Amino acid sequence: MIREISQETVIDCMKMLPFLFAAFLILEMVEHYAGTKLNRILGRVGNAGPAAGALLGCIPQCGFSVVAANLYSGGIITLGTLVAVFLATSDEAILILLSYPERGAEILWLILIKIIIAIIAGYMVDIIKKNKVYNPAQDEVVCTTCDCTKSHKIWMPAMQHTAKIFLYLLIFTFILNMAIEMIGMERLSTYLLTDSLFQPFIAALIGFIPNCASSVILSKLYLSGVIDFASTVGGLCTCAGVGLLVLFKMNPSKADSLKITGLLYAVGVISGSVLKLIL
């Protein structure tokens, strides 16, 4: 049984490998040729911060959530802009879903819904907090705690990112296939509260795993039919990659960082629950 599951896991993941590498290569090109400009835009957008943050955050990479955490800690962007970036971020989930071209419509809906949630939540936070802080003297805050590429080449970083995500996929796909084989899809779905309004609560907690593992887990659970679209959206709303870790490290107020974490969880749960009622 283990041999059969291992073979099935490797075959499934190998099918995704070309798509993952192509996507990472494109992202490395964007990061290499326009990354600095995009980061500066995030620090200079002023009142349009939440909208710009949501659009930049939906780009599947760790960079913008980390940069946003640094900029917020330095007093350059508003809390609403930071929240918008975090909520729009899906880390590697979009790239994994792109490996299934037949589900393209779902991916577009996922991105669009997360952008809408991020913009609404970001502007609501700024209206309530009236947080319009901008300190141009700190514009050079940079991403120093993320493993984003600092290389002048794009092929090697793209291969490294692909290998890392491929390894995560292999491990979790094997574990998921074993669980389905030993426990059964029906019982596994029961454990994760499928068709229950409480499933977004679990998915939002999974999203807090502070690296790309959370996006991999949520993506595979969704593709396997264990969690639904609404819960996936709710889980990916809290999936800010290493952005939260950077926030806790760089933000002078740990209490403020905890409040932001709670806010992300609340938005993720509410968004997932509302979508469950609508869809």
Q: Is 149 helix (H, G, I), strand (E, B) or coil?
A: coil
To 10 degrees, what angle do helices 243-250 and 63-73 make?
20
Cβ burial 249-260 (10 Å sphere, 16+ → b, else e): ebbeeeeebeeb
State the Cα–Cα distance between residues 171 and 213, nearest whole angstrom. 10
**How far is C-alpha 235 from the chain's CA centre?**
9
The pLDDT of residue 205 = 93
First to last CA, the chain: 37
The pLDDT of residue 63 = 67
DSSP count for the chain of H helices, then E strands: 13, 0
The pLDDT of residue 116 = 97
To 10 degrees, what angle do helices 254-278 and 104-129 make?
130
Residue numbers of the domain that contains 203:
2-278
Q: How many domains does the chain have?
A: 1
pTM of the model: 0.80
pLDDT digit of tens for each residue in the chain (279 aa)?
A: 788 888 888 888 888 788 778 867 776 776 666 556 666 666 666 678 899 889 988 877 666 788 888 888 888 889 999 999 999 998 778 888 888 888 888 889 999 999 999 999 999 999 998 755 544 444 444 444 444 444 457 788 888 878 888 888 888 888 888 887 888 777 777 878 777 889 999 999 999 987 677 888 899 899 888 899 999 999 999 988 778 888 998 898 999 999 999 999 999 999 999 999 998
The pLDDT of residue 42 = 67
The pLDDT of residue 149 = 44
Q: Cβ contacts of residue 202 below 8 Å, gap of 6+?
A: 192, 193, 231
State the Cα–Cα distance between residues 23 and 16, nearest whole angstrom. 11
Q: DSSP letter for 103, please.
A: G
To 10 degrees, what angle do helices 213-223 and 229-237 make?
170
The pLDDT of residue 61 = 66
- Shortest CA distance to 211 belongs to which of 242, 168, 236? 242
The pLDDT of residue 274 = 96
Alpha-carbon separation of residue 48 from 55, 77, 78, 84, 127 (angstroms) = 11, 10, 10, 11, 12
The pLDDT of residue 134 = 47
State the Cα–Cα distance between residues 26 and 181, nearest whole angstrom. 37
Structure-token match 């599947």, residue found: 60
* Contact in structure between 50 and 118 (CB atoms under 8 Å): yes
